[in-house]
A and B are shown apart, each in its own frame.
Chain A
């Protein structure tokens, strides 16, 4: 897949989100270049997760628009997002616990053959099976393919999450705290993986660990109290006085 430089793949226009009377996100706009690796950061309650959920289609915004590859996709259902090429991993591990590791990825990969298809044997579709094998190799889970996903260690479940998110071969991959709860070793492996993934597709991630982001991303967006605060390269963000005051200064 060739990516044209400086093409906008995703654009958030004036996104606002209310939960009841509480305004979780207020008029946030941002655009994302195809092939870029962007991090969204901010202190707790900054609206990162809300922003992430809007971009990944978990729920529609109260106001504003989401433009993907030039199309307005605001208000599309969650299940339509992967079909468009937008996929996500969850912050809290959300694997299918009673299914085997391989089945988890196979199900995620079989989107196209699944619609109302209840008479043919799943084994007669080689593509999802092959995709699953390939992705499990990528995230180093191929040896555990027949284990129940619920029996995996936390870090392995996070890796499985990523494999599932990749199963629809998305052009835009959204990762919600991909290293949450991981050991330092696991974090390093995950960072390497994210780096490779970012060479193939556009990646947006929400992350808490500042060190990880600074060494990984080309661009950072900072949210605070549900509002846009700053954006720029890691160096720019680190030297931004406003950001230091609300976020970096805390830790």
Chain B
């Protein structure tokens, strides 16, 4: 039996209203539908990375090409804290997030004076500067070999043993952090600031005439976005137990852009879907050919040309959603 349109509308609206809960349920199932857990963890990490990036790109309309720097900084600062200073992982994650947010403050401060393509270029250049700083600081970062030995020892909470050697346990451990961050993003978007962000994306002049300090709002969102991407980097370091130097590379920044557009920029969960689709395709296609980027590139172009709202954006468009429950 086909559900009536109103039933469907009720269901989708309920899901949209409780979007963090919906996401939580979907992500709890994810490891069972993926071929193996490591891929599911990759999707968690890059999904969060893309969502953090989308805060700036999709909701503020600012196309940064330097967000790989925050993924890398989060990873390296967490890794360095654990490998060189033997700090516990909790503190190390905090350092990774705050460090990336601080990096966001500096990069944002320098970049928000520019607009459009100039903003993209300034963020790209600053991202590359950070890449070379970490690349050259070999004694701390391991240079081109990456930083090895980021190991989370098994520990127990409430009688459960959390051992990273068990991929399922590792997945749900990282899931909790990702879910908290997604909840945080949802809070931001539902707050007064969330509407101001979109207002600035739509019309900067108008937003200023409504009494909003556009430059400061941009900087604030840049910092929040950088911190979330930093968390993604920290979690990736714990997951891989190594921080590869390519985390900082501008190709990672480009990936965030592609994931956001493929999934649906400016939608809440679209970038996560984009990340999941890209990583899944990469995994499936690499078993046939090493040129997986070629196939992903074609799919990407197909969406840009025919479904510019992205996978998730197009689905939302078709659903009988009430206003603004993207």
A residues near B (Cβ < 8 Å) are 56, 58, 77-83, 87-88, 90, 94-100, 103, 106-108, 110-111, 113-123, 125, 128, 146, 164-165, 167-168
Q: Are B209 and A87 in contact (CB under 8 A)?
A: yes
Identity of the chain A residue whose Cβ is nearest the Cβ of B194 in the assembled complex? A122
Tell me which residues across on chain A come within 8 A of B188, comparing CB atoms: 118-119
Q: Contact between B324 and A103 (Cβ–Cβ < 8 Å)?
A: yes
Residue contact A111 to B211, C-beta cutoff 8 Å:
yes
Give B200's nearest chain A residue, CB to CB.
A96
A107 touches B195 (CB 8 A): yes
Please tell me if B206 contacts chain A, counting CB pairs below 8 Å: yes
Tell whether, in the assembled complex, residue A121 and residue B191 are in contact, meaning their CB atoms are under 8 Å apart.
Answer: yes
Q: How far is the CB of A15 from chain B (nearest CB, A)?
A: 19
A82 touches B209 (CB 8 A): yes
Residues in chain A near residue B224, CB distance under 8 A:
118
How many chain B residues touch A (CB < 8 A): the figure is: 28
Q: Is the beta-carbon distance between B195 and A122 smaller than 8 angstroms?
A: yes
Assuming the A-B contacts A114-B193, A122-B195, are A79 and B205 also in contact, with contact meaning beta carbons closer than 8 angstroms in the complex?
Answer: no
Contact (Cβ within 8 A) A96 B194: no
Asked if A82 contacts B211 (CB within 8 A), the reply is: yes
Q: In the complex the two chains form, is A116's CB within 8 Å of B208's CB?
A: no
Q: State whether A78 touches B192 (Cβ < 8 A).
A: no
Which residue of chain A lies nearest to B205 when distances are taken between CB atoms in the complex?
A94
B193, B224, B322, B324 interface centre (most CB from chain A within 10 Å): B193
Contact between chains at A120 and B324 (CB < 8 Å)? no
From 180 to 211 in chain B, residues with beta carbon under 8 angstroms from any chain A beta carbon are 187-188, 190-196, 198-199, 202-203, 205-211
A-B contact pairs, 29 of them (CB 8 A): A58-B209, A79-B209, A82-B210, A83-B211, A87-B209, A94-B209, A96-B198, A96-B206, A97-B202, A98-B198, A99-B199, A103-B195, A110-B195, A110-B196, A113-B192, A114-B193, A116-B193, A118-B224, A120-B192, A121-B191, A122-B191, A122-B194, A122-B195, A123-B190, A125-B192, A128-B192, A164-B206, A164-B210, A168-B210
Q: Which residues of B contact A121 (CB under 8 A)?
A: 187, 190-191
Q: Tell me the smallest distance from the CB of A73 to a CB of chain B, in Å.
A: 14
